[in-house]
Chain A
Amino acid sequence: MFFKLVSRNSKRSRRENGLFHASLLVVVIAFYVILALPKQDVIIFLKEMESDAIQKIFQMVPILFGASLCILFFLVYFAGRYQMERRKHEFGVYRMMGMSRSRLFFMLMTEDIKSSLLILVAGIPVAVCISELVSLITAKVEGLGILGHQSTFSFAAVIGTAVGFILVKLFACLFLSGAVVKDEIGNLMNPQAKEQGKTRPKVLYVLAFATGCVLLFVAFYDGIRGHIWDDLLILARTVVFGIAGVFLVFYGFRLILEQLGRWGSRHERLGMFTFRQLEEMFIRKSSVPAVSCILILAALCLFGAGIGIARSYTVQSERVVDYTFDDDNEDVSTTIEKLQKSGLRSDFEKLIQIKTGYIESSIENLDKEGKPSKKKNRVVGFNADELVDKLKKDGKTPNENVFAMEIEREDTPHIIALSGYNELLKQAGEKPLALKDHQAAVYLGSALYSDEFKEIMSKALQGNIYVTMDGKTWSLGEKVMNKEIVADRAITLGFALIVPDKAYEQMTAGKGTTYLDGVLKPSKTEKQGLIRVYQEMNQKLDKVGISYDCFLQSLGRRMFYGVCASYITIYLAVIFLIIGNTVISVQFLTNQQKIGRRYQTLIRLGATSNALCRSARKQINWYFGIPVFLGAAGSIPAMASLFSLFVETGEGTQKVLLLSASGMILLLLIVELIYILEVKKLSDRYLLYLMVPEREE
């Protein structure tokens, strides 16, 4: 009998709180997907290449999971509290009928465990399918191919999801049931209406609203300026001001509502009622919409951060060479010989020798500790004062000034031999560079210096700029070179100078390094796909014993940051967005049922179902609209500052920012629309149910 009651209650709870249970289902799916991350094809692929970084991500997963569990606890606790409030009378009746406190507690816990288990049973198979699908899609998108697909099913993830979820539900239920069980029967049977009219002096609301607006303005200003990352204090101030501002604005929101109420009451049948309902929800529980607003803001920021990170690491790097062979113990000719002997030479369309080294006299000018020596009559190794002065003179933005300082610090720049570099240009389909005697070209490695710096340098090089190298004056060409000279972007040059071969030999005194770059035949890469060709070639090269760097590492690193950023940020954003929305949805619907009597009174006073539904829909629009609007508005400066952290500014960035913002707002609108429509549907259904005459006595 007892278990029948538990079963009936649990079923009723699922029916009455469908939206809440559906949200929990999505949370379970998200939990499983993040815990099964190590089993994803892309991650398995990256594990081989970036094992240290992947290991760090794996260490982060439990932290992320723990943080999401805490947020889930917040959702379950808040939503549960409203549901308990609504069922108080029912608990009072059980107690009156002689149900002991412990029995009631046991009943509530059993009900909760039963619904939790059902959610897990429904959620995990769906989660496994989604995880599998995500793995296949990312593998395909990243060009891994799906041939080597491995199942993502992870028993550890199932256990982790189930234990985490059940624990959170149990803890929340423990607190909630404990409070209900302790309550007096009288309080349970007749829950006292809270003081409605207790209003504080108007000046307090004005003050709260004004202070909130000022705090939000300061936070917005800091965010838009994009300097919040420069100083930890500014960052802390922005976050604290932002959060406090949201809470204060919601607290003082009564003022705006009053105006809206006055306006609305004149135009709408139930305008005053609608306004009072909103007032009650916003004023009595202003913290709930405030928290939802912050969660929505956080979700949007996470989407923004994800796009920012992904964008900064996934800017499609230009592929010129596929392999760089740079065995320190071997001559280049030995490597070529090995390639020919093993038959691998035929796989390469071209082998390019790139020579790079230091200006020996600039090295000699340094003492043992690397500081400029005080030797008299020394030859000036490198001096670019004119260029630095020009850069400083032109420098307006912080980025430009930092760049000028970086060039100023270049005491011993690399020099690159022209012939090899021209080969690279030819390979990339560009015109070779022509340099006269004592003329050099500035090289800025694209992996370290983005297009923005290339532009700054180009501007500074306009007119005749001279530098001193090896005691002689050199003129600098106006064009800035930036083709990567090796395959792996992590091993790259920042600032260097390209000089004619003869001068290169003289200045390096034969101590330079020669890299052998290999370009694979296009017929091979086009047929099989880049990643698979690389994987095969790597295996062959390993067998022959040739040491190499591969463009795959660049690809892998890009993929790593792209995948990790999108997985983690999207995961957190989804969790935040769901929880933010579910909290307000559940609060609205539970409150609506709790005050069902009011709607019944309105029906008796002659309110039509249409008028009631319209009033409720209006309440839903406002109740969702205000936190969502504030969250979305707040996300603009937050995103601007996140972008400033991850992506260099420039015309392109603004476009990306605009596109990302529009994309996120569109996504937010879709999510909100789903929630709002669902809540409206449930609200209408409840109100229409109230319209049906029933026996009361």
Chain B
Amino acid sequence: MSILKIESLCKYYGNKKNETKALDGISLEVQTGEFLGIMGSSGSGKSTLLNCVASVIRPTGGQILVNGTDIRSLKGAELSDYRGRQIGYLFQNFELLENLTGRENILLPLALHKYEEKKGEQKLKELAEYLEIQDVLDKFPTQMSGGQKQRIAAARALIMDPHLILADEPTGALDSRNAKALMEKLFGLNRNKKATIMMVTHDANAASYCGRILFIQDGVLFHELRRDFAEESQQEFYERILKVLAQLGGGSANVL
């Protein structure tokens, strides 16, 4: 069953004479429990795509249906509710509120959406254990490492049990060890809890945890890779990704 359906999505910047087509008619579907990766060079439109789904950017045309609802029709409280309950957003720069402790940061969406406090506490306990952040819950972000910050941010994105997790370069600000640890946690969530994740990344290593990867160039989709979990190891999938990326450097004509 598809959780997200995007049809002919366009986002244009500037006036007609000097128009930049960040997204130019993209259509795709994300199935429930899928781990989708979006890759592409800088300026290809991948972050614009993610931000359109997150309702941070208003598209110029097309449709974004989340659980059958076109998010372009949402306004005010409905839009806030969508951002808080339906999606969880993981930022490249964590975007933790540095004057709130880890616990307060994680519980922030609950406060915003009047979630039951007791349920929230239980969920926080589970997430903290899974993401191994129990020790830093009462620390402020300035007292945490990058990896800890991103795991706190992940817990915040997951606390409301969102239908769709959007991750924008989640490993972009992490070293390789912390990046690997985070990806394993996200992968575990996807495999064990059937969490649906849509991740934008540059990092082939991070992308190798995905089940499917879409490559974008100049605002259009031009390639797709699927991993056959039964047949293909993560290393093999990684090598395939690298191959596409190498060909991507030479333009779409080189892609098989």
Q: Do the two chains belong together in a single complex? A: yes
B99 touches A272 (CB 8 A): no
A604 CA / B162 CA spacing, docked (Å)? 13
B89 contacts chain A at the CB level, 8 A cutoff: yes
> Which residues from A are CB-within-8-Å of B85?
606
Within the complex, what minimum Cβ distance (angstroms) separates B43 from chain A?
Answer: 8
A598 touches B47 (CB 8 A): no
Within the complex, what minimum Cβ distance (angstroms) separates B159 from chain A?
Answer: 10
> Which single member of A193, A268, A605 contacts B84 (CB below 8 Å)?
A605
A196 touches B156 (CB 8 A): no
A528 contacts chain B at the CB level, 8 A cutoff: no
Name the interface size band of chain B.
35 or more
> Which residues from A are CB-within-8-Å of B109?
605-606
A273 contacts chain B at the CB level, 8 A cutoff: yes
Within the complex, what minimum Cβ distance (angstroms) separates B69 from chain A?
Answer: 15
A394 contacts chain B at the CB level, 8 A cutoff: no
A608 contacts chain B at the CB level, 8 A cutoff: yes
> Which residues from B are CB-within-8-Å of A244?
none
Chain B window 99-123, contacts with chain A (Cβ cutoff 8 Å), 1 for yes, 0 for no: 1110010011101111000000000
A265 CA / B95 CA spacing, docked (Å)? 21
Q: A193-B98, A608-B76 are in contact. Are A269 and B89 (CB under 8 A)?
A: no
Which of A275-283, A300-308, A412-420, A429-437 is the contact stretch? A275-283
B238 contacts chain A at the CB level, 8 A cutoff: no
Q: Using CB atoms, name the residue of chain A closest to B101.
A: A197
The interface size of chain A toward B, counting residues with CB under 8 Å, comes to 34
A64 contacts chain B at the CB level, 8 A cutoff: no
A194 CA / B99 CA spacing, docked (Å)? 10
A603 CA / B91 CA spacing, docked (Å)? 13
A196 CA / B100 CA spacing, docked (Å)? 9
> Which residues from B are CB-within-8-Å of A603?
83
Within the complex, what minimum Cβ distance (angstroms) separates B97 from chain A?
Answer: 5
Q: Using CB atoms, name the residue of chain B closest to A605.
A: B109
> Which residues from A are CB-within-8-Å of B48?
695, 697
A611 contacts chain B at the CB level, 8 A cutoff: yes
A196 touches B80 (CB 8 A): no
A273 touches B140 (CB 8 A): no
A696 contacts chain B at the CB level, 8 A cutoff: yes
B1 contacts chain A at the CB level, 8 A cutoff: no
Q: A269-B112, A276-B100 are in contact. Are A606 and B141 (CB under 8 A)?
A: no
B140 touches A693 (CB 8 A): no
A277 CA / B100 CA spacing, docked (Å)? 9
Within the complex, what minimum Cβ distance (angstroms) separates B96 from chain A?
Answer: 8
> Which single member of B57, B101, B108, B142 contacts A605 (CB below 8 Å)?
B108
B111 touches A197 (CB 8 A): no
Chain A window 607-626, contacts with chain B (Cβ cutoff 8 Å), 1 for yes, 0 for no: 11101000000000000000
Q: A269-B112, A693-B56, A695-B13 are in contact. Are A608 and B77 (CB under 8 A)?
A: yes
A257 contacts chain B at the CB level, 8 A cutoff: no
> Which residues from A are CB-within-8-Å of B104?
272-273, 276
A605 CA / B111 CA spacing, docked (Å)? 11
A447 contacts chain B at the CB level, 8 A cutoff: no
A277 CA / B108 CA spacing, docked (Å)? 14
Interface positions of A from 190 to 229, Cβ below 8 Å from B:
193-197
Interface positions of A from 267 to 293, Cβ below 8 Å from B:
268-273, 276-277, 279-280
Question: Which of B107, B114, B142: most chain A CB closer than 10 A?
Answer: B142
Q: A196-B141, A197-B140, A606-B84 are in contact. Are A697 and B76 (CB under 8 A)?
A: no
A603 CA / B112 CA spacing, docked (Å)? 10
A597 contacts chain B at the CB level, 8 A cutoff: yes
Within the complex, what minimum Cβ distance (angstroms) separates B71 from chain A?
Answer: 12
Q: Using CB atoms, name the residue of chain A closest to B114.
A: A269
Q: Using CB atoms, name the residue of chain B closest to A600.
A: B95
A656 contacts chain B at the CB level, 8 A cutoff: no
A197 CA / B55 CA spacing, docked (Å)? 33
> Which residues from B are CB-within-8-Å of A271?
111
A residues bordering B, Cβ < 8 Å?
193-197, 265, 268-273, 276-277, 279-280, 597-598, 600-609, 611, 693-697
B residues bordering A, Cβ < 8 Å?
13, 22, 43, 47-48, 51, 54-58, 76-77, 80-85, 89, 91, 95-101, 104, 107-109, 111-114, 139-143, 156
- Top 9 A-B residue pairs of the complex, sorted by shortest distance between their CB atoms: A606-B84, A197-B140, A606-B83, A697-B47, A601-B95, A608-B80, A196-B140, A276-B99, A606-B80
Q: Show 23 residue pairs from A and B whose CB-CB distance is below 8 angstroms, ordered by the A residue.
A: A197-B139, A270-B112, A272-B104, A272-B108, A272-B111, A273-B104, A273-B108, A276-B97, A276-B100, A280-B99, A598-B97, A600-B95, A601-B95, A602-B112, A604-B54, A604-B89, A607-B80, A608-B80, A693-B56, A694-B57, A695-B48, A696-B57, A697-B51
